[in-house]
Amino acid sequence: MLDQLLAFCRVVEEESFTKAARLLRRSQPAVTKQVARLEQDLGLLLLDRTGRQVTPTAAGRLVYSYAKRVSTTVSDLEVLVRDMHTPGRGHVWVGSVTALSVYTLPPLLAAFTARWPEVRLHVRTGQIQETVGRVLTNDVDVGFVTVPVAHSGLISTPLFRDPVVLVASPALAQGLPSPLPLSGLARLPQVGYQAPSRFRSFVDAALEQAGVSWHVTLEFDSQEAVVTMVTLGFGAAFAPLSTVRQALASHALVALPVEGLGDLARTTCLIIPRDPPRPPAIRAFLALALDHLFTPEADSTWGMGASCPLPPLPPQAGERVLRANNG
């Protein structure tokens, strides 16, 4: 039926079996037979053949509206498949937890777009489980998450360790001892990321293990809101270093060392499906991601036995991936 629908669309658009056959590179009898078979299968008269021009009937116009959607989808599919095999072109779908998409990925995405402007990037953000689910169902080609992920259908690669630091505004920090004793945490007004969440559970568990009781007075569902409220002096907060690095550099926030708390850090990871083929554009994106984000320290702390999709590569590795596929 697909060939029949495509032939029918061409006849309607050209108002002629002869012109349609020429464009389809088929004989006129073959195109006439395909349309007749479509009418037979649907039990409808689709074309009025009485005049000099072939025109659709009322039923034909309805069928054409649907057949045109099919034709457009087939054309889009052909372009997509062609781009998948063409170095320097195609689509890359990226899934990411929201904080990484705001604070970590922009330089990588900008570098990739500048180098390969004809590759279209699509970024979908969400929670960790959403991102993992999208990678597993192939809704995205690659995912960035803030915790290690173990799954038989995934390849998980550690990229970098992201220390978790206690931050406050300079005005609030000025009246606090440095380092801050553990007992001092309980007396600080706390701004926190929402519960339940992976990050909140991570911080709560670390504090509980240290014997610290703390109370969140303001709670938000985004790291951006947490950082904003702390900057305005509403309290202190535990935050990944990647989300507050710029605020610390500009002295809008101050990091507060906590005596006896130990080293808190999370590992940001790249996840990809284990089995599907990877067109040149996706392989180039993976190579560039490793160029930009991979650190040996993250790899040395990895304890899950996962393998890296591409080894750590020198600069311009992604470009070489595309060139290597040019033949």
Each residue's pLDDT tens digit, 115-126: 999 899 999 999
Domains contained in the chain, number = 2
pLDDT digits (tens, 9 = 90+) for 35-75: 999 999 999 899 988 877 889 999 989 999 998 888 888 87
Per-residue pLDDT, averaged over 219-228, amounts to 88
- Choosing from 84, 100, 123, the residue where a domain stops is 84
CATH number at residue 289: 3.40.190.290
Which has the higher per-residue pLDDT, 9 or 87?
Answer: 9
Asked if the model's pLDDT at residue 15 lies above 60, the reply is: yes
Per-residue pLDDT, averaged over 203-226, amounts to 86
Q: What is the mean pLDDT of the chain?
A: 84
Per-residue pLDDT, averaged over 308-312, amounts to 41
Do both 12 and 126 map to the same domain? Answer: no
Residue keyed to tokens 């083929």: 277
pLDDT digits (tens, 9 = 90+) for 269-280: 999 998 767 888
| Cα radius of gyration (the chain) | 29
- Choosing from 84, 115, 132, the residue where a domain stops is 84
Least Cα distance to 128 among 161, 156, 165, 92 occurs for 156
Boundaries of domain holding 10: 2-84
- What are the contacts of 122-127 at 24+ separation with CB within 8 A? 122/91, 122/92, 122/93, 122/94, 123/94, 123/95, 123/96, 124/93, 124/94, 124/95, 124/96, 125/95, 125/96, 125/97, 125/98, 125/101, 126/95, 126/97, 126/98, 127/97, 127/98, 127/197, 127/198
Do both 99 and 168 map to the same domain? Answer: yes
What's the confidence (pLDDT) of residue 53? Answer: 82
Do both 203 and 164 map to the same domain? Answer: yes
How far from chain centre, in Å, is Cα 221? 20
Do both 164 and 55 map to the same domain? Answer: no
- Choosing from 35, 61, 84, the residue where a domain stops is 84
Least Cα distance to 220 among 245, 199, 195 occurs for 195
For the chain, count helices (H), then strands (E): 15, 11
Weakest mean pLDDT among 42-46, 64-68, 102-106, 213-217: 213-217
First CA to last CA across the chain, in angstroms? 36
